[in-house]
Structure 1
Amino acid sequence: MSTENAGQRPPAPDYGIIFNNDGGYLKHAEFPMSVEDLLERIYGPLAGTQVGALSWCVGVEEAHWPSDRLPMIGEAEGRRYLSVRDMRRAESLRAMFDADADLYGQLVRRGHQMGLGVYASVRMNDNHFWSDAERRVKPLRPEEMAATERPHLTAFRKRHPEWVLGEGAPAWAATSWNMAVPEIREYTLQRIAEACELADWDGVELDWQRHAFHLPEEDAYRLRYTLTDLQRAVRRLTDAIAQRRGQPFHVIVRVGASRETNRRVGYDLEAWIEEGLCDIVVTGANSGTDPGVEVEAYVEMMQGSQVRLYPGFDSHGEWGRGHLLPAKQWREAWFRGLATGFYERGATGVHLFNWHNHVHAVRPLLQSLGAPNTLRRTAKVYAAVKRHIRDRGELRYGAERDDRLRGEVPVDLLHTLMGGGPRFRIGVYEDVSEAATLELQVDLDHLSPRDQVAVELDGQRLEDPVRRSPAAEEAANPADVSENTWLVWPLVPAQVGKGVHVVSIDLLERDPRLRPPIVVRNVEIHVSYLNGGNASTGGI
């Protein structure tokens, strides 16, 4: 099936950075917040940055607007809230509409005055439900919904426990909608349709990754056509809006970082691109940042189309703790390294999710991540992909089920029969100059002075490293040693050319006094310059 208007739609602009905001700013001032105060909080921090588009979350399950068919924010709780923050958000929003404020019209116009695209962002299957008795300890079960009062836990969902995933998803996502149910797709389309008509948006962002449990786990691939059905319905809707307005109405989809993730969740992205069902593909994890974006594969899918790729960064997960560099310094260098690689491999821009609560702290990144030229000669960390899986006893066990599927760390370092241990692939995506300072850093947990390991870079055995303990480098820490040890090798540009490098680690001898294995936690190549901050703070 193809979409009739695919060849007639103009491509979406190149935005550099698309900045998602979940609407939480409504909690940041005392009730009642004014529209002008909200707009200043939204757009003030984005001025003078490389952000080219804002995607504004217009609600989770309840509508963030008056609706004749959908419950409005606060109704699920009878407007009696669990916290002052929740009350501020819901009641300030309601007060704006009670005063006949054109909230979303003003939101779009202010963004356009700044030269930004403005999108309505719809979370396709958000699940932030917790049981009242054991909040944030045990997830809500479908059979508990009817007797539970929680934000966004609507009467419609309570009436239909048979339409949620139940045992077809991890326990914390058991109350997520089953998108194979036709009534749920119709209901979701209604939410999207009403959101799209709130203002003269530049388009709509369908956040499929919030949260990425839409179909029974064992059937997701076979039922993927049902998600494509909804995607087609949305494209028909947006085409009608575009025709009526006489201007484009673009569709952004936020999906997984890899083809395997998409298959496991049920996204038939190849069909969506082939049929012209989206204009921009954003990648994101279900939880945290997924750096393992298959950029080349996605760009190949997009050949011959006008669809563009924006790999995504989240604020959760790998956020810079536990490294030799201070967390903020490491984090900025890691994001710069990822963005450099994404651009070099064919991405158009980047998408930032959940950064709004850190917007002032990440301003240097907002001024540099939006274009390759502002990333040149800046400090970067190129790292092996880390896969994190929560313990079974944690509330959100299973949240990362489909994220970072090819993560190479952490991994136990074990004896092998034939010699040779794990191998780690690290892409370096710049021509490193002679002025650069280069290091290979390997983080090993439970390493004893008696342990012997051999490390190779691209098949060449490295000499003995410098051993550094994080505790010894923390001024406030009285200890000289930590449970983990970093092995550090200085490198020269000839060892770190542009391309993918392979680091191999082999366990030669293990201290017999220790029971746990050595664990390889991080493998990183660091590139820094004398003035290794942001090369430029200008625009795109």
Structure 2
Amino acid sequence: MMSGIRLLSFFALSFIASGLGWDSLSLAQHNVISGILYNEDDSNRFMIDPPGEMTTKTLDKLVDDLAGTHVTTYIICCCAKNANYPSEAWSVYGDGFDPNLDNTQPFFGDVDPAGRDGLRRWAHNLQKMTAEGIDTNAYMIERSRKKGISPWISIRMNDAHDAPLKESPLHSRFFMDHPEFRRKTGSVGAWTDVCLDYGRPEVRAHAMALIEEVCSRYDMDGLELDWNRFPLHLKEGEEDLYRDVLTEWMGEVHEVVKSAEDKWGHPIHLVARVSARPEVAYGIGLDAVEWARKGFIDHLIVAPFWATTDFNIPVEKWIENLQGTGVGVTAGLEARVQPYPGGPSLPNTPDRRRGAALAMLSRGSQGIYLFNYFEVPSAYHDLLNELDSEEVLRQKNRTYEVTYTDIQIPGDPIPAHLPKTIGKHESAEFEIPIGPKPLPSEVTLSVVYESTSDNPIYFPVKLNGDPVGRIDYTGRMPIDFRALTEGTNRFEIANGMDYPIVIKQVDLQISPEDDSR
């Protein structure tokens, strides 16, 4: 619940602003965005109940499960390519769906029959809510406030789900009618090939129409522009040409939000979600630092795209670049963990989530942003009271994985650390940021490797330049917790054999001695 101090600050701000006007206040000054920021996507709420059986009880539960936890902000997504409410600016998901027809009806297009039941639930339940006069976004905004959670609306700036399909119901009329507006035409390679090209004024106007409608329609505390869904917005090679155009366009969005503040009588955060790395965000045409310097945004979410949680987000670089702007940074966790592109999807255990969160908080993240974490409120509810607290996380079991950057600048990729071939009698270094120096703990370094020999392996290891032992045949090695340093630890793994080996996974597990579990 919102504390008395927070409530007092909010009402005091409201009183002051009513006399000064919102133009006199900087949102970056009014209250710090912190705690856990939880993203509810545009479809999840409609997929829970059987087709045509959704009620507001489902919406209540989604919000109520977060109440009383460290979730301070509920980020309610209102669109993918289509809107999930009766929009006049965009086409609406479920247009053309007939609940009286089966799954062979034209609405489903060329979607695999095995995937149509979920889409049916989505379309039918959205139609039912709309027919009953219930806008689920507005309903959840009101419910969130009742439960002491700040409600935002999120707009996906370039969703590309079902990219390989020609007639998916996820495709909007705008997308279908204007293939010439896509980043690439012709056959689809990566899904981001079909992202809309924001170098086109028509695409920017299309997005602005929804932004204006959302700001007029919803009494929200914040508007998130999610540039990570999906992350490429310009044709390859045109990033430098249109970067300043997008910055100017963000200024226009800022003016729309300022007008909405006047309409609703309270401040509205304008927030952007971009790539985890400053150089990548800039390289793909999103100059988020300049947006902050010009006062266009009030907060920045930095996160991976989808393939894997990034355990090594350079939050401190963002903070340095944003110095003097008043704009804070929150780092985001993804639902997946993957050591390298095309590699195995690892279980995203509570320990892995804790490790990633602690690493980000220690580097300056003002809280933790959760994306696609639908199962957490029911399966891992305790995490909602842990993931934003360095003090709590330091006392918990946690795991740190070496992963990779899953948003890349076209033509200038950041190489993945894994898999790593180590030649005979050679070595390789892996960086693992752990946050604060650990309490007395059991610490284990683990690797997964491939070898062309069945002979016993010999992997001498150095930690921050000092020998600490060797990895045995199990791929594991205990480490004295006192050898670890605050921040980034560097593990040099040597190949002591006469043949090459391939390292495919590296992780560090820390289990405090007083962990109650």
1:442 is aligned to 2:447: yes
1:405 is aligned to 2:414: yes
Q: Which residue of 1 aligns with 2:469?
A: 463
**1:384–1:407 contact (8 Å) kept in structure 2:** no
Q: Which residue of 2 aligns with 1:224?
A: 243
Q: In structure 1, give the amino acid aligned to 2:490.
A: V
Q: Which residue of 2 aligns with 1:525?
A: 508
Q: Which residue of 1 aligns with 2:399?
A: 381
> Structure 1 residues 25, 84: closer, same or farther in 2, change over 3 A?
same
Give the Å deviation of 1:5.
Answer: 4.6
Q: Which residue of 2 aligns with 1:122?
A: 155
> Structure 1 residues 7, 414: closer, same or farther in 2, change over 3 A?
farther
Matches within 5 A, 1:20-419: 20-22=39-41, 23-75=43-95, 80=105, 81-82=107-108, 83-130=116-163, 139-140=164-165, 148-166=166-184, 170-288=189-307, 289-318=309-338, 331-386=349-404, 405=414, 407-415=416-424
Instruction: For 2:337 and 2:376, locate their aligned partners in 1 and report how far apart those are by CA, in whole Å.
Output: 14
Instruction: For 1:172 and 1:103, locate their aligned partners in 2 and report how far apart those are by CA, in whole Å.
Output: 29
1:426 is aligned to 2:454: no
**2:331–2:368 contact (8 Å) kept in structure 1:** yes
**Structure 1 residue runs without a partner (length 5+):** 131-138, 141-147, 389-397, 469-485, 512-516, 535-540
Instruction: For 2:38 and 2:409, locate their aligned partners in 1 and report how far apart those are by CA, in whole Å.
Output: 23
Give the Å deviation of 1:376.
Answer: 2.7
Instruction: For 1:228 and 1:165, locate their aligned partners in 2 and report how far apart those are by CA, in whole Å.
Output: 19
**1:6–1:275 contact (8 Å) kept in structure 2:** no
Q: In structure 2, give the amino acid aligned to 1:298.
A: W
Higher deviation after alignment, 226-235 or 343-352: 226-235
Q: In structure 1, give the amino acid aligned to 2:92.
A: M
Instruction: For 1:294 and 1:497, locate their aligned partners in 2 and report how far apart those are by CA, in whole Å.
Output: 17
Instruction: For 2:443 and 2:210, locate their aligned partners in 1 and report how far apart those are by CA, in whole Å.
Output: 51
Give the Å deviation of 1:260.
Answer: 2.0
**1:386–1:522 contact (8 Å) kept in structure 2:** no
Q: TM-score, normalised by structure 1?
A: 0.80
Other structure's SS at 1:454 match: strand
- Post-superposition Cα deviations, 1:66-98, rounded to whole Å, max 9, x if no partner, equal 233422222266884432321221222222222
> Structure 1 residues 57, 213: closer, same or farther in 2, change over 3 A?
same
Give the alignment's Cα RMSD to 1 decimal: 3.0
Q: Which residue of 1 aligns with 2:4?
A: none
**1:311–1:342 contact (8 Å) kept in structure 2:** yes
**2:276–2:302 contact (8 Å) kept in structure 1:** yes
Instruction: For 1:346 and 1:69, locate their aligned partners in 2 and report how far apart those are by CA, in whole Å.
Output: 38
Other structure's SS at 2:247 match: helix
> Structure 1 residues 489, 124: closer, same or farther in 2, change over 3 A?
same
Q: In structure 2, give the amino acid aligned to 1:305.
A: T
Instruction: For 2:412 and 2:306, locate their aligned partners in 1 and report how far apart those are by CA, in whole Å.
Output: 7
**1:310–1:347 contact (8 Å) kept in structure 2:** yes
Other structure's SS at 1:185 match: helix
Instruction: For 1:402 and 1:201, locate their aligned partners in 2 and report how far apart those are by CA, in whole Å.
Output: 39
Q: Which residue of 1 aligns with 2:3?
A: none
Instruction: For 2:189 and 2:23, locate their aligned partners in 1 and report how far apart those are by CA, in whole Å.
Output: 39
**2:94–2:126 contact (8 Å) kept in structure 1:** no
Q: In structure 2, give the amino acid aligned to 1:274.
A: R
- Give the percent of matched residue pairs that are identical in Structure 1 and Structure 2: 24
**2:461–2:494 contact (8 Å) kept in structure 1:** yes
Instruction: For 2:354 and 2:412, locate their aligned partners in 1 and report how far apart those are by CA, in whole Å.
Output: 21
How many residue pairs match? The answer is 475
Give the Å deviation of 1:21.
Answer: 1.0
Higher deviation after alignment, 50-59 or 92-101: 92-101
**2:232–2:284 contact (8 Å) kept in structure 1:** yes
Matches within 5 A, 1:477-496: 486=475, 488-496=476-484
Give the Å deviation of 1:387.
Answer: 5.6
> Structure 1 residues 308, 35: closer, same or farther in 2, change over 3 A?
farther
Instruction: For 1:20 and 1:533, locate their aligned partners in 2 and report how far apart those are by CA, in whole Å.
Output: 30
Q: TM-score, normalised by structure 2?
A: 0.84
Give the Å deviation of 1:171.
Answer: 3.9
**1:15–1:51 contact (8 Å) kept in structure 2:** no
Q: In structure 1, give the amino acid aligned to 2:428.
A: P
Instruction: For 1:213 and 1:117, locate their aligned partners in 2 and report how far apart those are by CA, in whole Å.
Output: 29
**1:439–1:489 contact (8 Å) kept in structure 2:** yes
Higher deviation after alignment, 13-22 or 98-107: 98-107
Other structure's SS at 2:92 match: coil
Q: Which residue of 2 aligns with 1:506?
A: 494
> Structure 1 residues 496, 171: closer, same or farther in 2, change over 3 A?
closer
> Structure 1 residues 102, 77: closer, same or farther in 2, change over 3 A?
closer
**1:253–1:278 contact (8 Å) kept in structure 2:** yes
Q: In structure 1, give the amino acid aligned to 2:323.
A: Q
> Structure 1 residues 400, 530: closer, same or farther in 2, change over 3 A?
farther
Give the Å deviation of 1:251.
Answer: 1.3
Instruction: For 2:470 and 2:173, locate their aligned partners in 1 and report how far apart those are by CA, in whole Å.
Output: 64
Q: In structure 2, give the amino acid aligned to 1:439.
A: T
**Structure 2 residue runs without a partner (length 5+):** 1-21, 100-104, 109-115
